[in-house]
Amino acid sequence: MRALLQRVTEAQVAVDGVVIGRCGSGLLILVCAMQGDTGAEADKLAARIAKLRIFPDDAGKMNRSVRDIGGAALVVSQFTLAADTSRGNRPGFSAAATPDEGRALYERFAQALVGEGVPVETGRFGADMQVALVNDGPVTIWIES
């Protein structure tokens, strides 16, 4: 699985102009299941992200996790993280998991993050979503299982 983490002071996702998920201080996580990914990889990725020390401590050093700060996560599915731009001008997405597999792994990832003690809200899998955020830092990190 692939994820793009953005440390945020706030983030929200809307579908058809209606906000369906939001978080305050914490993480916006754009996540993509790749072909061959398993539930175990979704669990492992969630555990890594919950423990990742990318929030400042009292000295201003990145030494605290989203759990440590009592933060939350907004998890949004984004198959375009599987983009292959190595040929031509149009990206290919054949490395992404099938929609059924992708949905199952996306949902498992979000539940695994909850199991790690991180409050989670989500977008809507497969929907045309509008995501708004205030990136804190800015801090943006790419991570794979």
Q: Are 92 and 139 in contact (CB under 8 A)?
A: no
Q: Are 75 and 113 in contact (CB under 8 A)?
A: yes
Q: Exposure of 61 by Cβ count < 10 A (0-12 exposed, 13-18 middle, 19+ buried)?
A: exposed
Q: Are 13 and 130 in contact (CB under 8 A)?
A: yes
The residues annotated as belonging to the active site are: 78-80
Backbone angles phi, psi at 106, to 5 degrees: -60, -50
Q: How far apart are CA 138 and CA 132, in angstroms?
A: 14
Q: Are 1 and 144 in contact (CB under 8 A)?
A: yes
Letter for the amino acid at 68? D
